[in-house]
Structure 1
Amino acid sequence: MNRLWTLIWPENLDAAAALLVALAVTVYAVLGGTKVEYISAAMLLNLSLIAFGLMKDRVARSKQQQSLDIIIGSQKILPADRFFKSKSPEDDVIRSAHSSINMIQETGSLVTEHSQAGIIDFMNRAGSLKLVVSSPSPLPALNLAFRNENLQNDSSILKRADLFLSQMSYISQKVGPRSENITVRYSEYDIGYTSTVSDGRHPSFVSKGIVRIAGFRIPFAKKLDFEIDSEFSPKVVSHFCDEFDTLFESCSKFILLIGSPRSGKTTIVNRLIDQFRSSNQHVYSVVSRETMREGERIGFEIVINGDEGSSRPFARRKEGALKDISDILNYDFETAVWDEIADEVRRESKSGKIIILDEIGEMQISSARFKDTINDLLNDSASTVIATISAASNPFLQSVKEHHRTNIVKLSEANRDAVMDSLSREMAASMRRASFLNGQAQ
């Protein structure tokens, strides 16, 4: 009896009272001594006791959860089931972006399809979008297919890669010249997660992101993901920003250096060539330079891999042309020279070399074969090109700048050192990539 009383008092007193009232009313009703109003009153009393019990239970549960949170907080442990989610949409991150969005995706087709409207709206607000996607070359595509559920070969992955390209083409058409701020790079690395991060490291905005674990043969709906933001988890955001930057630099790439005449584009290109001359087995460089006579420009020539003995003249100033006018109409061109260069560039790129071009300009594209080579390099996910490009208003040059693979770098006197440092990191990463892909890693 004492044990029964211990169980009832005080935690379960309300439940015991409800049971006693219900039992008493039932017995009284069976004996025929009750009236309807008494039964109704008893039922209302019982319901009140039950409601009181439920409220007390909720308060108790809340106190227990608060105590648990205090314990978890003191131990710096967050249960995984409270940390991970699934099917979290990238749309919220894209809508929140102010200045930049960085994405790591598998083929990219899913996010560019489902979040297409958000991406277009963001680009029209003068944002910058960078995407790293898996290379559609055979081995990465096969590895990606093997990791995904219900895929027997790489054909589905390659179809998704093609779909991604058509979607990027549509996005570029919608945003027009702002597509210069879109850069897609391809990675041979089999990435173990995907991510979308907005405004990474921006001093004025809260950076937000979704990181999704790829998993092995896990359907998309069951893949685990988690949210990050720089307000509550700045170290985690910084980590994934660093990860993105390193991966971005290590991908195939097509960098275009733009600047006004005499801004130092050729100087930077020559410094890059000199800096990595010891690894020139991975580089093929073509530099256009002035030919001078008695301090006056008389034409242009090209130099291959910094070798003075390789110089080939390709333009000569016309007789009677004004000396202080540099318009291309004042020059006669040897387009055959650029036809030869186009074939050499195409061959060296196919062999895995990094192509450095100074410059892609109106003189160079007077060769139809050179234009075709530039288009082929743009559409070859494995090619790596660092080039200067003319600021001239030309439809072909503009189409090159707006291509989804190109990364526009604008050079000025104020940022010259920063640009040089950035391109040095890009070259070092590309050298390492070329070394690994050619089986010569140290």
Structure 2
Amino acid sequence: MSESLELARRTFVTGQPGSGKTTLVMALVHALLERGVRCQGFYTQECREGGQRIGFDIVTIPSGERAPLARKKGPRHWPKVGSYSVDVASLEKYAVPTLLLPPPPTPDSKAVDVVICDEVGRMELKSEKFKKAVRSLLKLDIPVLGTLTAARYGHRVAFCDWIREQDQVAVHNVTKSNRDGVKALL
């Protein structure tokens, strides 16, 4: 692991949509996996159809299993975030378990080296189970690499502010112009 991950046990990147948060985290995950670091968690990926964005999917790490997170044309009973309907049941079935760590194989070892959580955002926060899993995760003695939604139009996200205030949390702001520098820093 990098020194930054060891010093800041919980490293998050934040930035506006399209700034490269997920791309940055996935580059770091690939580098960690190449070094034999055991990663577990999830990331979100844009879902397109006919060249148009129709929503977002959850992709689990390390299995690569995909499931819907949000769709522009979701059922009416799904909670809304902007123009998207959030599939809370899918989030809780696929993403939440990746944040809950298995017991280590032996008392002196760890089953997982780093937990990936991309993203703690407005869609994911529609789930109380997700929030509970994140709170529990941040109490554990394990490195976390994740992304936090940024304030938009002056509207802050209280849960993300709470994460920023936790011990051993480092948050790096990512923009299109600085993302390569942030990657080198991490």
Aligned pair partner of 1:366 in 86, 105, 126: 126
Q: Does 1:301 align with 2:57?
A: yes
**What whole-Å deviation, never above 9, does each CA across 1:266-302 have from its counterpart, x for those lacking one?**
1111211222333466111411011111111111111
TM-score by length of 1: 0.35
Structure with greater helix share of residues:
1
Alignment of 1:119-158 (within 5 A): none
Distance apart, 1:349 and its partner CA? 8.6
- Aligned partner of 1:315: which letter? A
Aligned pair count reads 169
Name the Cα RMSD after superposition.
2.5
Query: Aligned in 2, Cα 1:405/1:296: closer, same or farther, shift over 3 Å?
Result: same
Distance 1:374 1:293 in 2: 31
Residue pair 1:252, 1:383 contacting (<8 A) in 2 also: no
Residue pair 1:378, 1:405 contacting (<8 A) in 2 also: no
Distance apart, 1:252 and its partner CA? 6.3
2:157 equivalent in structure 1:
394
Query: Aligned in 2, Cα 1:315/1:280: closer, same or farther, shift over 3 Å?
Result: farther
Distance 2:103 2:171 in 1: 21
Which segments of 5 or more consecutive residues in structure 1 lack a partner in the other structure? 1-244, 320-326, 424-442
Query: Aligned in 2, Cα 1:370/1:397: closer, same or farther, shift over 3 Å?
Result: same
Distance apart, 1:306 and its partner CA? 6.2
Identity value in percent: 26
Distance 1:406 1:261 in 2: 22
Which segments of 5 or more consecutive residues in structure 2 lack a partner in the other structure? 75-79, 105-110
2:66 equivalent in structure 1:
311
- Aligned partner of 2:179: which letter? R
Query: Aligned in 2, Cα 1:386/1:409: closer, same or farther, shift over 3 Å?
Result: same
Residue pair 1:282, 1:354 contacting (<8 A) in 2 also: yes
**What whole-Å deviation, never above 9, does each CA across 1:158-200 have from its counterpart, x for those lacking one?**
xxxxxxxxxxxxxxxxxxxxxxxxxxxxxxxxxxxxxxxxxxx
Distance 2:133 2:5 in 1: 24
Q: Does 1:330 align with 2:83?
A: yes
Distance apart, 1:411 and its partner CA? 1.4
Query: Aligned in 2, Cα 1:414/1:314: closer, same or farther, shift over 3 Å?
Result: closer
Query: Aligned in 2, Cα 1:249/1:388: closer, same or farther, shift over 3 Å?
Result: closer
Higher relative contact order (CA 8 A, sep 6+): 2
**2:176 partner SS:** coil
Aligned pair partner of 1:377 in 120, 137, 154: 137
Distance 2:100 2:26 in 1: 21
Distance 2:103 2:86 in 1: 25
Return the index of the structure with the highest Cα Rg.
Answer: 1
Structure with greater strand share of residues:
2
Distance apart, 1:416 and its partner CA? 1.9
**What whole-Å deviation, never above 9, does each CA across 1:334-353 have from its counterpart, x for those lacking one?**
21222232223112597333
